[in-house]
Structure 1
Amino acid sequence: MAIPTVVAQRPVVAGDKQLTVSTIRIAADYYDTVIFDDSTDKRHSGQVLGGYVIDSSSKRADDREAAMEQHREALIAARNEQPRPVQD
């Protein structure tokens, strides 16, 4: 099994948000994009942003092009949207 490789990783600081959007390659046809909360108090961890649960969920893509599109969409959401609590 190969070690995951970082394909793209970008910090996002906007308002009270300190986040990182990261996309890694796990295998030839398996990429994951995730949003991490980098704030010291983890104020947004577990909240929803752009279809992701911060620090808890990822979105899978089967090729690099789709992974980069997901990464771009996650960056836009991280910059422009406000995290919200998970709805039951």
Structure 2
Amino acid sequence: MAIPQPVRRTQVVTDTKQLTVSTVRIRADYYDTVVFDDSKGKRHSGWTIGGFVIDKQSRRAATRDEALEQHHDAVDAAYAEEPQPITEQVPGGEPGE
């Protein structure tokens, strides 16, 4: 198994959040982009931003260009949006029902 190779890493620090967007190459046709919560206490871990679940979900890309586009989109979201908690959905019902 190959060691993941860093492609791009961007830290986003604002008054309300400390995030890192990280994109790595796993193998020739496999890149992963992840958003990490760098705040003390990980207060946004498991929340969403830009379609990512912080610290919990990665997005796969088949090419470097796709991976860099995902990275750019995640960084834009990290600057422009605030993390949102995930509301639990009950099948056929409203959240929290």
Verify same fold: TM over 0.5.
yes
Alignment pair present for 1:59 and 2:59: yes
State the AA in 1 paired with 2:53: V
Say which structure is richer in strand: 1
RMSD of Structure 2 on Structure 1 (CA) = 0.7
Higher RCO (C-alpha under 8 Å, 6+ residues apart): 1
Alignment TM-score, normalising by the size of structure 1:
0.97
Stretches of 4+ aligned residues off by more than 2 angstroms: none
State the AA in 2 paired with 1:14: T
Matches of 2:2 and 2:78, distance apart in 1:
29
Gaps of 5+ in 1: none
Give the 5 Å matches for 1:23-38: 23-38=23-38
Alignment pair present for 1:48 and 2:48: yes
Alignment TM-score, normalising by the size of structure 2:
0.88
Q: Residue 16 of structure 1: CA displacement?
A: 1.2
Q: Residue 41 of structure 1: CA displacement?
A: 1.4
Q: Residue 25 of structure 1: CA displacement?
A: 0.3
CA offset digits 1:18-71 (Å, max 9, x no partner):
000000000100000000000011111110100111000010000000000000
Q: Residue 15 of structure 1: CA displacement?
A: 2.2
Quick one: percent identity of the two aligned structures? 58
